[in-house]
Chains A and B, each alone.
Chain A
């Protein structure tokens, strides 16, 4: 195992903790962008990847995930003027503690799985799971709609990482389709955040609780 590779995996774990512990939304957006960038680099560094049009695809996907999607989220931030997550449902210190628990759980959970492809996959699978849990946690434990979108993006990053871990060569058509969907999802969410802000004068999703039985 090469050391830059290990270093990047450790960085991915640390980035998740930063997501769990940061209250400034700008910092969170940057973290998600860096995460996408790292995963793209990992994809290029994976042994056995030859320089062909698949490489171009990786570069393209990474650009969208690391530049375009964060830009969309930043636009929503500018429009709503929200810069900070105040009073999350779960406090930051406790979030990081939970994060530690999720990390341990991720390593325990993948132990029984027989990983058919050797190499990078062995270390990356628990990290994938951890990233996914982090995304889910952000969606349920934070109040602002923007943070929920960031949680969604983190989940998408984890799926991308899984694809990288197993060097899954999806056809370009499907990759483009998935990317288009994620892009459209963030775009539509951005529009909705705009409307939520206009309707409620803030984007706290706990205000969205009129509909119940």
Chain B
């Protein structure tokens, strides 16, 4: 081994080992635990059970319900976030009067802690005292059970997700719009191309890679939603607003069923990886169509 190779190894191995310890060890440990029954409450000695934890979860209606709830919240809210966020970014990009004020105002929700957002929402959607109730009372619809009716509770959660995270889409899409070359748009204007066609044939394709990235980030983040739901509905009524992360939290930190919680976390990881792979493959095909 030459002196050069030796010094390369000396620099590389410590970093490699740190990464290994910090990232891979917890994953491997959690994977091992997922094949065992490990309970802190009541304390029980660990026992190897193979795939039983996984089988139990896959057979449980609660798991599939959590997948459904998570998917509903994530897909609907991200779709609206993207459409509204893109529209707002386009508006702000065209320097409407007071654009700088709007720019700050639109971004504010994103800076709030989700727990605070949930607490505010709880007051807003209070079935007796909340202003939303006051509004609907004007139309003869008093005391709507926003948080205790399964469909309405999910709708409220979707609205909150949209309200809080649309600014993220606005921020990134606006940055993307401001980075587009001006000459292309000026040429289009000279050729008298309509605004809609300018958007459809120039802006949208040029921002497609950014759009794909923004949606991907929001989808992955959306899958992890827990704090808002924890505070607002606690997953109820029943389990009708219980997401995968809340289910895993309850198993791990309420029931201290560590084996089951680990298995659940890995299944969650598999779901996200599968979804991510499908999404990126579809996005690649879409991008190719516009190339």
Q: Do A and B come from one complex?
A: no
